[in-house]
Amino acid sequence: MFNLIYKAFFLNFYGRSYGSYFLFYIPLHLEIIITFFSIIIAVAYFTLAERKIMGSIQRRKGPNINGIWGLLQPLIDALKLILKEIIIPKKANSLFFLLSPILTLFISFNNWIFIPFSFTNYYTNFNLSLLYVLAISSIGVYGIFLSGWSSNSKYALLGSIRSINQIISYEICLSLIIILIVLLSGSLNLINIVYFQWNSWFFYPLFPMVFIFFICSLAETNRSPFDLPEAEAELVAGFNIDYSSILFAMFFLAEYSNILLISSLNIIFFFGGWLLPILDSYFIYEFLFSIKIVIYSFLFIWVRSTLPRYRFDQLLDICWKQFLPFILGYLLFILGVFFYLDILPFNGTNLFVNQTDFIYLF
pLDDT digits (tens, 9 = 90+) for 235-276: 566 777 888 888 888 888 888 899 999 999 999 999 888 888
**The predicted structure's pLDDT at residue 281:** 59
Listed residue (334, 326, 328, 330) closest to 358, CA to CA: 334
**The predicted structure's pLDDT at residue 234:** 61
* Most distant pair of Cα atoms in the chain: their distance: 65
Rounded distance, CA 194 to CA 116, Å? Answer: 9
- Measured CA angle at 121 (ends 281, 196), to 5 deg: 65
Q: Label residue 179 left, alpha or beta by phi (over 0 means left) and psi (-120 to 50 means alpha).
A: alpha
Listed residue (179, 186, 163) closest to 355, CA to CA: 186
Phi, psi of 57, deg, nearest 5: -65, -35
Give pLDDT tens digits for 267-322.
999 988 888 876 665 667 888 888 899 999 999 999 988 888 888 888 889 999 99
The count of other CB atoms within 10 Å of the CB of residue 231 is 17
**The predicted structure's pLDDT at residue 211:** 93
**The predicted structure's pLDDT at residue 7:** 38
Residue 122's DSSP bridge partners are 17
Low-confidence ranges of the chain (pLDDT < 50): 1-24, 347-362
**The predicted structure's pLDDT at residue 125:** 79
**The predicted structure's pLDDT at residue 222:** 82
Q: What is the 3-state secondary structure (H, E, C) of the chain?
A: CHHHHHHHHHHCHHHCEECCCCCCCCCHHHHHHHHHHHHHHHHHHHHHHHHHHHHHHCCCCCCCCCCHHHCCHHHHHHHHHHHCCCCCCCCCCHHHHHHHHHHHHHHHHHHHHHCCCCCCEECCCCCCHHHHHHHHHHHHHHHHHHHHHHCCCHHHHHHHHHHHHHHHHHHHHHHHHHHHHHHHHCCCCHHHHHHCCCCCCCCCCCHHHHHHHHHHHHHHCCCCCCCHHHCHHHHCCHHHCCCCHHHHHHHHHHHHHHHHHHHHHHHHHHCCCCCECCECCHHHHHHHHHHHHHHHHHHHHHHHHHCCCCCHHHHHHHHHHHHHHHHHHHHHHHHHHHHHHCCCCCCCCCCCCCCHHHHHCC
Q: Which residues contact 293 (CB under 8 A, 6 or more apart)?
A: 260, 263, 264, 267
**The predicted structure's pLDDT at residue 345:** 64
**The predicted structure's pLDDT at residue 197:** 86
Q: Which residues contact 291 (CB under 8 A, 6 or more apart)?
A: none
